[in-house]
Chains A and B, each alone.
Chain A
Amino acid sequence: MTDVRAEEAAAGLDIVPSGAGSGGAGAGSDGAGSDGTGKSAPPSFGISGWLTWGWRQLTSMRTALVLLFLLALGSVPGSMLPQEGADPAGVQQYFTSHPALAPLLNHLGLFNVFAAPWFAAIYLLLFTSLVGCVVPRTFRLAGSARSLPPRAPRFLSRLPHSAGYSTALPPDEAIEAAAGVLARRGFRLRRAPAAETWVSAERGYLREAGNLLFHLALLGVLVSIALGGLFGYKADKLLVAGQTFADTRSALDEFHPGRLVGGGDLPPFTITLNQFAASYLESGPDRGQPSFFDARISYTASPGDPARSYDLEINRPLSVDSTKVYLIGHGYAPVFRVTDARGQVVYNAATPFIPGSTGNFLSEGVVKVPGAQPQQLGFLCVFVPTAVDVGGTLESVFPAAGNPAVSLIAYAGDLGMNSGVPQSVYQLDTAGMRRLTTGTELLQPGQTLRLPGGRGTIAFTGYRQWVSLQITHDPGQLPALACGIAALAGLLLSFMVRRRRVFVRARAGERGTTVQVGGLARTDASGGFEDEFASLANELAAAHHSTGPARQSETGE
């Protein structure tokens, strides 16, 4: 920013104060305030002027900060309201508990914030703003990091730090000696033209390098995030103990691919859940809180590979073939065996149930038996891991399966499955069905319920546990981390390194040569330059075998 001003001043431009640019300001006014002020008035000329002005506004630091704030603000509902992607059941629950408010929120996209158009608008603008701001700055910094120190000012005693003394050395030799001292101290030098006797020196260019690193790393972070968005994916899979799944599109319950992910891009691993164990606190105020989860799995990285075993725990994901597999949830899958009116076994499977919000893993689920003859059968069920009868209703008093029980309502009729319209496996469409049982029927493991009218039987034969796995592939994660670290390192460098200049002039006088040393710290926020300058001045004087008294002043004049 400063150099822009300087350039304008040098070019003889009038900088029009803000607000005065309506009629007579002329074309020059938009030159003011590139990044930072953002107060330049709209220019009064055509489309290209408006575009330039708009681009300046968009890429100003202030706009970037406002957009960043909006982004943070916009993600607040994402963490306060249930989201479609992460918690579809929660969204449904919200709709039933807030029937008036929910449709309005849904219209605003607040149940899927991160896919909402307004959210995309914010981050696309932010991205453009950052790129437009950072790229030109990077070029400027790169220039600045290579630049030589300026010419020595005429009167060094006016600088914030200065010293002077006399020496017997002729001026050119004195300058040579001073240049030697400064070069040994790591200063970058600018030598005077032949007729003059001065030397300029500057160090602390690492500050600019740090700044440059910070900006480049910032761009790197943006690119990494884009990489992750284009080539990464996220998938969910529910896996019942004893079952295997192969990582392929149709096996996944949910699949959210990046824009450039094809169907054949999934690594061909298989995972078998051998056993799942969860333990809970047995006593104390936190009784029933989980204390430990452990999913024992075996996996093959690709077909034909030997099977390896692994203990999947919360925050201990499995890394396989550039993807990570996380354990994110668990639940119960009671096993049912259903026979129809003809005595055929038409269903015999572990059926995953979803834990309800009431706690202690009271879980709800549905058994659909489309193959039952002569009519299809359906069951609305509740699984209770540790059941206690409280005044006629079942309650779960502990999340572990201490006294498992199932209560169910049986239906017969048309499940609505043959029309081909997809339906949720966790919901029973009873529109075409008739309720067979008046109350709820209670079953314990091993018990069988005879359906009225000889329609068949349902047996609750036991239960298994399931885990839900999240499979993520984010190729931008590691680059983003590296760039984040680099950005931090660059920022630290640019904060900690001071850029400081030292100038030495020698003039021939009556009593030998007069040497003037001047010093200037361009950014001396933390102080400490005066000590460095004093020791440097002493060293220079010593190198010059100074004869006169070393005079030192803190400030010019």
Chain B
Amino acid sequence: MTVVLNQSFTGISIGAVLLLIALGLTLTFGQMGVINMAHGEFIMAGAYTTYVLQKSISSAGASLLVALPLAFLVAGAMGALLEWLLIRRLYTRPLDTLLVTWGVSLMLQQLARDVFGAPNVQTAAPDLLTGNISAGGVTFANNRLFILGLALLCVLGLTLVLRFTPLGRRIRAVVQNRDLAEVSGIATGQVDRITFFIGSGLAGVAGVALTLVGPIGPTMGTNYIVDAFLVVVVGGIGQLKGAVITAFALGVLQSVLEYSTTVSVAKVGVLVAIVAFLQWRPQGLYTLRTRSLA
């Protein structure tokens, strides 16, 4: 029983990381249909922001707290810049954005290598987040709990923004029907840019969280990006609840399979499960009902 609980917690914490990364993607992929491969590099930007802050502020706790909003702004600004420079010119060719942003991601990785050096760097975690909590035979690592809390907080924040603010209403309108939103007087281009800002900013927050569980390196983003895209695909485009359920489900599935087999077999197993799932629901868990044929 404790094994099951421990594995479930591991799965949930894998899911929390996936969720943090996939939240931003759900927004940008959902609203604009563009596949942003540079999303992984925004994660990296968030992680390096934490690193730089910790170099200048020696306190680990304070730097982490400052890093969260700062990484959001840094990554968000990068995302908005990318949207303005390239992506808005490619809305009619969503698949090509994948290759274009891949090129951007190559350049950003090299930039990180030139600025911070090729080897991975580490940040120190605040004391509060290094220990464990044991309850009922299950060990909860504090840093994992923090990431879980952060992920849920981000989901809550995003839900509130989308549901109750004028900006959220505009974003939802553009997701549901871009043409109608535009003739209703919504500046869709501007909404796109803000969505991209928020989505990329969330990647930055994910980057801060990842500094707690692993090293910071130029290629750290690529390790997560494919899994995060799978979450979006399975969850359904532009649906927060789909992403939340899928992220945790994939995390638990991954950790259970890892426990019973090996890491590599688990990866293959998850992929097979996803293909099987898409047989059942080709558009993902939750979909917007539209009358379009595509």
Do these two chains interact? no
B interface residue numbers (CB < 8 A to A): none
